[in-house]
């Protein structure tokens, strides 16, 4: 049952009884969302968005103790649980999956990602260790998270796995040499997730690849003043609508934030 239907059901119950509904059965309540890279930017806004909508949110960050904005958000909303997680630490991922073994996760949002410093991506002086780090975080991380949490997602009502991809991963759109590490990682994660989507489809799980567009985050700090940047609130509201609206028939579709389909 989607969150829209759940909300409609609450309203229907209130009308039929003629009273304010103070409590509803657990199965009517909003579900659980897990967000990686939740300490800032788009990840933090996803936490705020879903918690405000009544979902329980498991918000992960590599260093929760220094994630001041996330901690403040969690302190103000009991729906949010902060967990330490580095998507490069597979043992840590498995431990978190075990900890939440009895929890159905409606939406798994693979948001954690890095770009790699631009000066390390220049052809002729490529830093291959940085390239490996970008690929590990942006490709292996989402793959491992999805593999470890598949049973949690399959047990839920929504059954969605979302990957925050990028239009930079669209090979058909490349017209210049820019951020080859980041571009390669986003193209790679699109391909990996498109592949496993066919396996997950058998369990009723839809995979949603979505581009947030240019957003005013720390990752895009160098672009401030040089190009128009969207707010994190707008970007997340639109991406959440795409994730919410995606069906099993749309699995592994590469969506733009406005719901249109991007070229591979």
**Cα 82 from Cα 65, distance rounded (Å):** 10
Strands 80-84 and 56-61: parallel
Q: How many domains does one find in the chain?
A: 2
Is residue 193 located within the same domain as residue 182? yes
77 or 221, higher pLDDT: 77
Is residue 66 located within the same domain as residue 155? yes
Q: Is residue 264 part of a domain?
A: no
Is residue 60 located within the same domain as residue 116? yes
Report percent pLDDT > 90 for the chain: 79
Contact assessment for residue 106 and residue 156, using Cβ atoms and an 8 Å cutoff: yes
**Cα 178 from Cα 145, distance rounded (Å):** 28
Q: Using the predicted structure, report yes or no on whether residue 15 has a pLDDT greater than 50.
A: no
> Which CATH number belongs to the domain containing residue 205 in this structure?
3.40.50.720
**Cα 57 from Cα 80, distance rounded (Å):** 5
The dihedrals phi and psi of 168, each to the nearest 5 degrees, come to -65, -15
Report percent pLDDT > 70 for the chain: 85
**Cα 153 from Cα 105, distance rounded (Å):** 5
> 65: domain range?
31-256
What count of Cα atoms within 13 Å lies in the side-chain half-sphere of residue 252? Answer: 16
pLDDT for res 64: 98
Tokens matching residue 79 = 């729906």
Is residue 136 located within the same domain as residue 108? yes
Distant-in-sequence, close-in-space partners of 154: CB < 8 Å, separation ≥ 6: 203, 204, 205
């Amino acid at each position: 049952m989607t969150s829209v239907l759940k909300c409609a059901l609450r309203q229907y119950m209130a009308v039929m009884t003629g009273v304010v509904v103070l409590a509803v059965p657990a199965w009517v309540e909003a579900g659980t969302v897990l967000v990686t890279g939740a300490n800032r930017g788009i990840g933090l806004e996803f936490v705020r968005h879903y918690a405000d909508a009544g979902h329980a949110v498991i918000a992960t960050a590599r260093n929760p103790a220094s994630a001041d904005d996330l901690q403040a958000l969690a302190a103000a909303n009991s729906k949010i649980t902060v967990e330490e997680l580095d998507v490069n630490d597979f043992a840590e991922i498995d431990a978190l999956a075990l900890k939440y073994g009895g929890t159905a996760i409606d939406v798994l949002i693979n948001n954690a990602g890095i770009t790699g410093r631009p000066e390390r991506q220049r052809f002729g002086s490529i830093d291959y260790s940085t390239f490996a780090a970008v690929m590990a975080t942006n490709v292996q991380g989402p793959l491992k998270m999805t593999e470890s949490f598949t049973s949690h997602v399959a047990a839920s009502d929504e059954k969605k796995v979302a990957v925050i991809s990028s239009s930079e991963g669209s090979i058909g759109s490349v017209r210049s040499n820019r951020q080859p590490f980041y571009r390669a990682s986003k193209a790679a994660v699109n391909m990996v997730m498109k592949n496993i989507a066919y396996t997950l489809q058998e369990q009723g799980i839809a995979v949603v690849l979505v581009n947030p567009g240019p957003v005013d985050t720390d990752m895009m700090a160098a672009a401030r003043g040089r190009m128009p940047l969207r707010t994190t609130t707008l970007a997340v509201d639109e991406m959440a609508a795409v994730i919410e609206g995606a069906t099993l028939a749309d699995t592994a579709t590469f969506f733009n934030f406005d719901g249109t389909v991007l070229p591979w």
